[in-house]
Chains A and B, each alone.
Chain A
Amino acid sequence: MIRRAALHAIPTMVGVVIVSFLMLHLMPGDAVDALAGISGGASAETVAAMRSAYGLDDPLGVQLARYAAGVFTLDFGHSISYGAPVFDVIVDRLPATLLLAATAFTIALVIGVAAGWAMAVFADRWQDRTLSAGVLFLYSAPSFWVGLMAIVVFSAKLNLFPLGGAETIGADLTGWALVADRLHHLILPASALAAFFVAIYARLTRAAMLEVLHQDFIRTARAKGLHPLRLQFRHGLRNALIPVVTMAGLHFGNLVGGAVVVETVFNWPGLGRLTMGALASRDISVLLGILLMTSVVVIAANILIDWLVARLDPRVSA
């Protein structure tokens, strides 16, 4: 199954390369314009010479072909603004984003499913209403605002967490002290990123649980004399997880996208901030590289989710 999914991913990737390449070239201005702007102006001859040096004056088709050929050998081109190969620039920052996204994803799933379970079990009682109000709040609050408020409350006022960054600069920590320091920096941004998805998964779990709890096999389980908790988990939640996990996989891409905003707010050294920088300097090859890398991550995550769903639902693998 995984091999088939990986094969299916190839045409998707080809599509991603072509579409993002063309879309990014619709953007006005290129890296040379940006460089010229930063250095305070350049003569028309210099600009033309730079363009030809970077191959930016070739026809679009030629540039696309050159780029696509490079992608095959993991050569994503050269970043003009960073003065380094795009691949190195991205790989340098990818782990930080992956760590942030994976942590946020885990937080969102665990808290979301737990809240959804509680809302379904206490459906239409005060517990459900309170949680629903909280969930609605998280659902409607934008993540940059949640991030900023978290910084104001937990960092600035209560002094519980650092203001930003991924580690204490210049502390030179090793071993467990380093892990603890990293975690300390991770909690706020990961929670801010998770907030919206907690709301989504909670609502989803609630709906799925309520549907499952009305199924015939729940009545069978009750007729066996099972304890309500066993009923809710082994028969209810176990079935409700199938649609929740499926949807969680679809949302993983959104979560990676949301990381851009949160990284900017928390000064997190990941792909999100790199994207903002590359956008400002019109560094199209870096932007393209980020798009490609994130789609690889999202596709990989979806293959993982499909595998997980097949493990959860015996009817799928047949």
Chain B
Amino acid sequence: MTLLKIENLGVRFGDHDAVAGLDLSLAKGEAVALVGESGCGKSTTALSVMRLLPPAARLRGRVLLDGTDLLSLSEPQMRRVRGNRISMIFQEPMTSLNPVHSIGAQIVEAIRQHADIDKPAARKRALELLDMVHMPDSARRIDDFPHEFSGGQRQRVMIAMAIASRPELMIADEPTTALDATIQHQILSLLDELRRELGMGLLLISHDLSVVSRWTDRAVIMHHGQHMEELAAKDLFTSGHHPYTRGLVSASLRLDRDQHYRSSRLPEIRVTRDAGDYAFSVVRRPAPVAAVPDDGIALRTHDLTVTYKTARGPVTALDGVSVAIPKGGTLGLVGESGSGKSTLARALTQLVTATSGRIELDGQDVTHPRGAALRDLRRRVQMVFQDPYASLNPRHSVGYILETPLAVHDGLGSAERAKKVRQVLDQVGLPAAAADRMPHEFSGGQRQRIGIARALVMRPSVLICDEPVSALDVSVQATILNLLSDLKAELGFSCLFISHDLAVVQFVSDRVVVMRNARVVEENDHLSIWRRPQTDYTRGLIAAASG
């Protein structure tokens, strides 16, 4: 029995087609995934089902809910569908709730919008809903405000609101992308449980192939607003026919595939456009020959402790952390948000000061460097940041961004600086003309190349990468990871690679450290840590990441 049928949907903004000729159907109680990379039109499709797109969007085609075309309903009629027959949850649980109303009030609002019941009854129902989404201590917390909840808890509140009127269809737009792996698992299994319990259809929008294959029945793959392929979710990794699907699958890292940068490069998808049609090919190249790290240690911490003073007293962000980055190798650092991984990166680059303990660079103590020693450390230890959009000054040209460290540290003349800039741009795979352009003219992946170039222009001996690919699409992620291993083979730096994504860490690391609550939980070489995890915490992370 078909619940939702999308026929030949087209969404146009100005002269740009965000979605073109999309077909999709979803049966009662079925879970269907819309898969694709950013800009492929999957969120636009979801929003057009809810008719939540800005007025500038022009829609064509039909969106049938139980036979009624939603696109032909009047706005008041559509309001009786939203939140009642179809509800939606969004990617950003941190900003999707109104900060000035208690969560109880927001759930009650959702209930009373579509049911004629009084406030006390609605509040009682809100409590039931909070219990259904397994909100701990719901009776006490119902009057708390959104900022008093964690990201995972806020997403539970969003789900409670969404199921308030027992909708026939729930649309979840990247519901777990902003959450840690273990929380992600909890939220997805909650959605699955509710779907079965309430018999609702689920349209899951995601870029994450492992999530899709684990939690949905069917997957529709989109690219540039077009339907590429549709297949059973369990066959996603094995029987995709379309070259784009196959490219996406092979570029996606999965923990159980044991990929490693020393043995293989990640396949990259090449998309070419010929007279409006896209052509896809998958490029596989052999792994670069990287020097095997010797026993030397590039950068090491002994019992490093960092405490922050806050209004509520001191907070220990790092508690006796001892790690070692092998010379010429990569130390992978895994942990969930709040585990202290970014604080470690900041302490190593002297952006925060160690409270106690020691930091050694090439055997020399660099815990509290001053003056020339600090400048020398900054030259030798460089950092690549997570967000390629926010970490480049939008008012400076790429050339200026790249040559500033050269001017600061080396005092080189402008001709020499320009030469070095051209050289480093070439190394990260950007044309020399990029130097004259501004950061906003580049895509996310290109910006991350600029970020890497900025770090490498000083020829550091240690590169610290803090979640360098977590804001990027799967196919872009593959090219950046390949670039990093090529550059490592070419330039021979050592690397600390921080990520919450176990599969990414598995690919790039020679050794791996697992952190939790400001401490190191476990450390081992890159093979043993996945095969023989020693602690329950690591086992839990691996289970969550394996889907």
Answer whether A222 and B52 are a contact pair too, CB < 8 Å, given A216-B90, A314-B145, A315-B145: yes
- Residues from chain A with Cβ under 8 Å of B101 in the complex: 234, 238
CB of B96 within 8 A of CB of A217, answer yes
Q: Is A225 an interface residue (CB 8 A)?
A: yes
Query: CB-nearest residue of chain A relative to B158?
Result: A220
List A182-216 residues whose CB lies under 8 Å from chain B. 215-216
Q: Is A227 an interface residue (CB 8 A)?
A: yes
- Judge whether B82 and A313 touch: CB under 8 Å: no
- Shortest distance in angstroms between A50's beta carbon and chain B's nearest beta carbon? 57
Instruction: Kindly state the separation between the CA atoms of A312 and B99 in the bound complex, as whole angstroms.
Output: 10
Query: How many angstroms from the CA of A25 to the CA of B97 in the assembled complex?
Result: 56
B79 touches A226 (CB 8 A): yes
Q: Which of A168-190 contact B (CB under 8 A)?
A: none
Contacts of B81 in A (CB 8 A): 225
Q: B78 — nearest CB in chain A belongs to which residue?
A: A225
Contact indicator A224/B147 (Cβ below 8 Å): no
Q: In the complex where A216-B92, A217-B97 touch, is A224 in contact with B158 (Cβ < 8 A)?
A: no
How distant is the Cα of A224 from the Cα of B97 in the complex, in angstroms? 12
With A222-B52, A226-B109 known as contacts, the answer to whether A217 contacts B98 (CB < 8 A) is yes
Q: Is A239 at the interface (CB under 8 A from chain B)?
A: yes
Residues of B within 8 A of A223 (CB): 50, 52, 82-83, 87-88
Cα distance A172–B302 when bound, in Å? 88
Beyond A313-B100, A318-B148: 20 further Cβ-contacts under 8 Å?
Answer: A216-B90, A216-B95, A217-B95, A217-B99, A220-B96, A220-B98, A222-B82, A223-B88, A224-B110, A225-B81, A225-B82, A225-B83, A225-B113, A226-B83, A227-B79, A234-B109, A238-B101, A239-B100, A314-B145, A318-B147
Chain A residues with CB under 8 Å of B97's CB are 217, 220
A235-B101 Cα distance, complex, nearest whole Å: 9
- In the bound complex, what is the Cα–Cα distance between A254 and B148 (angstroms)? 37
Distance in Å from the Cβ of A122 to the closest Cβ of chain B?
13
Q: Are B100 and A238 in contact (CB under 8 A)?
A: yes
Other-chain residue from B79, B84, B88, B99 in contact with A315 (beta carbon distance below 8 A):
B99
Give me 5 A-to-B residue pairs in the complex whose CB atoms sit less than 8 angstroms apart, sorted by A's number.
A215-B95, A219-B90, A221-B98, A238-B101, A312-B100
Kindly state the separation between the CA atoms of A315 and B102 in the bound complex, as whole angstroms: 11
Q: Does B161 contact A (CB under 8 A)?
A: yes
Contact of B52 among A219, A312, A314 (CB under 8 A): A219
Q: What are the residues of chain A within 8 A of B158 when measuring CB–CB?
A: 220
> For window 484-517 of chain B, which residues contact chain A by CB distance below 8 Å?
none
Asked whether A239 and B99 contact (CB < 8 A) given A220-B158, A222-B82, A223-B88, the answer is yes
Residue B114 lies at the interface, judged by CB distance under 8 Å to chain A: yes
Distance A203 CA – B164 CA, assembled complex (angstroms):
38
Q: Which residue from chain A places its CB closest to the CB of B47 in the assembled complex? A: A219
- Considering the chains assembled together, what is the distance between the CA atoms of A242 and B98 in angstroms? 13
Q: Min CB distance, B308 to chain A, in Å?
A: 18
Closest approach, in angstroms, between the C-beta of A296 and any C-beta of chain B?
30
Q: Please, which residues of chain A bring their CB within 8 A of the CB of B83? A: 223-226
State in angstroms the CA–CA spacing of A216 and B173 once bound together: 13
Closest CB pairs A-B (n = 4): A225-B82, A224-B83, A225-B83, A216-B95
Q: Which residues of B contact A (CB under 8 A)?
A: 50, 52, 79-84, 87-88, 90, 92, 95-102, 109-110, 113-114, 145, 147-148, 158, 161
In the bound complex, CA of A315 to CA of B81 (Å): 33
Alpha-carbon gap, A5 to B51, bound state (A): 48
* Chain B residues with CB below 8 A from A221, complex form: 98
**Beta-carbon contacts of A276-295 to B below 8 Å, as 1s and 0s?**
00000000000000000000
Q: Chain B residues with Cβ under 8 A from A217's Cβ?
A: 95-99
Min CB distance B137 to A, Å, is 18
Q: Which residue of B lies closest to A217 (CB)?
A: B98
Interface size class of A (residues with CB under 8 A): 20 to 34
Specify which chain A residues have a CB less than 8 angstroms from the CB of B161 in the assembled complex. 220, 224
- Which A241-259 residues have C-beta < 8 A from chain B? 242
Contact B96 A314 (CB under 8 A): no
Contacts A216-B92, A223-B87; A314 near B99 (Cβ below 8 A) = yes
Q: With A and B bound together, what is the CA distance between A224 and B113 in angstroms?
A: 8
Which residue from A224, A238, A315 sits with its C-beta under 8 Å from B82?
A: A224
CB-nearest residue of chain B to A222: B52
* Docked-complex contact B79 and A225, CB < 8 angstroms: yes
Enumerate chain B residues within 8 angstroms of A235, measured Cβ to Cβ. 98
Complex interface bits, A223-237 against B, C-beta within 8 A gives 1, otherwise 0? 111110000001100
Bound Cα distance from A232 to B285, whole angstroms? 55
User: Measured between C-beta atoms, what is the minimum distance from A55 to chain B in Å?
Assistant: 49
B20 to chain A, nearest CB (A): 24
Q: Which of A222, A227, A312, A315 contacts B147 (CB 8 A)?
A: A315
A224 touches B109 (CB 8 A): yes
Most chain A beta carbons < 10 A, residue from B98, B99, B161: B98
A312 to B145, CA, bound (A): 12
Q: Which B residue sits closest to A312, measured CB to CB?
A: B100
Q: How far is the CA of A234 from the CA of B109 in the complex (A)?
A: 10
Residues of chain A within 8 A (CB-CB) of B95 are 215-217
Which interface residue of B83, B84, B100, B113 has the most chain A CB atoms within 10 A? B100
> CA–CA, A131 to B114, complex, Å?
36
With a CB–CB cut-off of 8 A, which chain A residues contact B148? 318
Residues on the A chain within 8 Å of B109, using CB: 224, 226, 234
Contact, CB under 8 Å: A314 / B147: yes
Cβ of A31 to closest chain B Cβ, rounded Å: 50
Docked complex Cα distance between A52 and B98 (Å): 67
Tell me, rounded to whole Å, the shortest Cβ–Cβ distance linking A291 to chain B: 35
> Taking the nearest CB of chain B, how far is it from the CB of A239, in angstroms?
6
Nearest chain-A residue to B147 (Cβ)?
A315
Instruction: Report the separation of the CA atoms of residues A217 and B99 in the bound assembly, to the nearest whole angstrom.
Output: 8
The reply to whether A239 and B84 form a contact with Cβ atoms under 8 Å apart is: no
B98 — which chain A residues lie within 8 A by C-beta?
A: 217, 220-221, 235, 238-239
Contact partner of B80 (CB less than 8 A), chosen from A225, A312, A315, is: A225
Distance between B237 CB and nearest chain A CB, rounded to angstroms: 32
Instruction: Check B100–A216 contact: CB distance below 8 A.
Output: no
C-alpha gap A215/B98 in the complex (Å): 9
Nearest neighbor of B50 in chain A, beta-carbon distance: A223
Docked CA distance A222–B75 (Å): 12
Minimum CB–CB distance from B310 to chain A (whole Å) comes to 13
Give, as a whole number of angstroms, the nearest-CB distance from A192 to chain B. Answer: 34
- B residues near A242, Cβ cutoff 8 Å: 100
Measured between alpha carbons, how far is A313 from B109 in the docked complex, in Å? 19
A227: chain B residues at CB < 8 Å are: 79
Distance A222 CA – B79 CA, assembled complex (angstroms)? 8
Q: Please, which residue of chain A has its CB at the minimum distance from the CB of B93?
A: A216
Nearest-neighbour CB distance to chain B for A87, whole angstroms, equals 41
Residue of B nearest to A227 (CB): B79
Give complex CA distance A223, B164 in Å.
12
Please give me the residue from chain A that is nearest to B75 by CB atom: A228
Collect the chain B residues with CB atoms within 8 Å of residue A315's CB.
Answer: 99, 145, 147
| Chain A residue at smallest Cβ distance from B84 | A225
How many Å from the CB of B536 to the closest CB on chain A?
A: 34
Smallest CB–CB gap between B91 and chain A, Å?
9
Chain B: CB-nearest residue to A241:
B100
**What distance in Å separates the Cβ of B471 from its nearest Cβ neighbour in chain A?**
18
Taking CB atoms, residues of chain A closer than 8 Å to B52 are 219, 222-223
Bound-complex Cα distance A223 to B169 (A): 13
- What is the CB-to-nearest-CB distance from A46 to chain B, in angstroms, rounded to a whole number? 63
Kindly provide the distance from the CB of A127 to the nearest chain B CB, expressed in whole angstroms: 16
From residue 266 to 318 of chain A, which have CB atoms closer than 8 A to chain B? 312-315, 318
- Complex CA distance for A235 and B50, rounded to whole angstroms: 19
Residue of A nearest to B110 (CB): A224
Bound CA–CA A315/B98 (angstroms): 11
Q: Please give, as numbers and ranges, the residues of chain B lying within 8 Å of A216 by CB-CB distance.
A: 90, 92, 95-96
User: How close is B533's CB to chain A, nearest CB, in angstroms?
Assistant: 37
Q: How far apart sit A227 and B113, CA to CA, in the bound complex (Å)?
A: 9
